Amino acid sequence: SATSPRMTILSRRDVLALSAAFSATLAASALLPRAFAADAPPTTAPVRHRGIKLGIDNFAMRAMKWKAPALIDYAASLKTDSLFITDLDAFEKQDDGYLTDLKKKAADLGIQIQLGSWSICPTSKSFKNTWGTAEEHGALVLRMAKALGSPVARFILGAGNDRSTPGGIHARIADTVAVCKALKGRSEELGVKIAIENHAGDLQSNELVELIEAAGKSYVGANMDIGNGVWTMEDPMTTLTNLAPYTLTTSLRDSMIWESPKGATVQWVAMGDGVVDLPAFFDQFEKLCPGVPVHIETIGGFNREIAYFDPEFMKLWPHRTAADLARFIALAKKGKALDAGKGTFATDAEFQQFQIERSITYCKNVLGLGPKS
């Protein structure tokens, strides 16, 4: 049911023994897909607990199609601190009374809700008029965020295909800045900041900084996504360094990267299954992003080749520096090829559940994230 997700989805959890913190039994289980069967994350406890809130991004569980009450229950069952709902379709209503009730339900379970939605760039290929104009969409989400108690309203510019539109990515940045400026008064009145994500290969981190500075960093910041940063040939440590002063919230996952004929291939994976040095990353995150929650947004089951040997592809990245590309290539040299797909899992829902719960367990038991861990 909408309010009892474990009744239909989570029976597989016991079979996979996810609560055993990646025990040897889990690592050896024949139920694991080949891409994840070997080299299970270490089971040692973290050296110290980090003061970083841990949460989930509901896009990680998109196949479940859960509404907000079920998402809150699921976040509570995983003993997380925050729930990032980045899909307005998760809400059965948009009125303040309904949203205030959700805020109370979450607060009673020790969870803060953060809110996000889709593109506010009216010239992006990703823009939808489902919620009216870009300004109307932005105003709606800002109001809903206020009612939910979310300090941020997250939006995106678009995706990587916007880099090849007329005027290129800088034209799309300018169009997004204009919408942000139109929303400034509403943002400041409600006390809700606008968080723009580096999304699906649209913005390099320095380009997102350009957007934030042009709009005004007093009310616009970043939703940092290191998985999306990898699609722009960016080492996650570079993404963190550039975006940390602007970061309001996060959507994070690990990445496996390996060399391939046209450059490198990326598969997004569960936390601890990729080439990102996550302990080093969170050492810096803790220092540079105090008070910012970590939301895990696992998205797996497919490969994407980053064709940096192709001159036509590289024309879309005129400002990607040699030093940044060298750091990305160094990551690729550390990785190993993975099969695309979800392995032996019968459904997308089961695969997504496995990835998010594997990630949350790793974040708690290895990285020391989450006050409730």
Residue ranges of alpha helices (H) inside the chain are 11-16, 24-28, 34-37, 68-77, 96-108, 134-148, 168-190, 205-215, 226-230, 236-243, 278-288, 311-314, 322-334, 348-365
Q: Of all residues in the chain, what percent are helix, strand and coil, respectively (each to 5)? A: 45, 15, 40
Counting Cβ atoms within 10 Å, is residue 144 exposed (0-12), middle (13-18) or buried (19+)? buried
Query: Would you state the pLDDT for residue 41?
Result: 53
As a residue count, the chain comes to 373
Query: Would you state the pLDDT for residue 3?
Result: 40
Whole-model pTM: value is: 0.89
Is residue 231 within 8 Å of residue 266, measured between CB atoms?
yes
Query: Would you state the pLDDT for residue 50?
Result: 87
Structure tokens at 232: 């722009």
Is residue 13 within 8 Å of residue 357, measured between CB atoms?
yes
Torsion of CA 254, 258, 264, 266, to 10 degrees: -30
Structure tokens at 313: 């592809």
DSSP annotation of 330 reads H
Q: What angle do CA 316, 197, 312 make, to 5 degrees?
A: 10
Handedness of CA 15, 40, 252, 309 (dihedral sign): negative
Helix/strand/coil for 57: strand
Is residue 44 within 8 Å of residue 366, measured between CB atoms?
yes
Return the residue matching tokens 């390996």.
258
Q: CA-to-CA distance for 61 and 354, rounded, in angstroms?
A: 10
Residue 186 phi, psi dihedral angles, 5° rounding: -65, -40
Residue numbers of the chain with a pLDDT score lower than 70: 1-47, 373
**What DSSP string describes 121-159?**
-TTSTT---TTSSHHHHHHHHHHHHHHHT-SEEEEE---
Is residue 225 within 8 Å of residue 252, measured between CB atoms?
yes
Q: What angle do CA 295, 297, 300 make, to 5 degrees?
A: 160
Q: What angle do CA 49, 51, 56 make, to 5 degrees?
A: 100
Helix/strand/coil for 37: helix
Query: Would you state the pLDDT for residue 343?
Result: 87
Structure tokens at 228: 């999306």
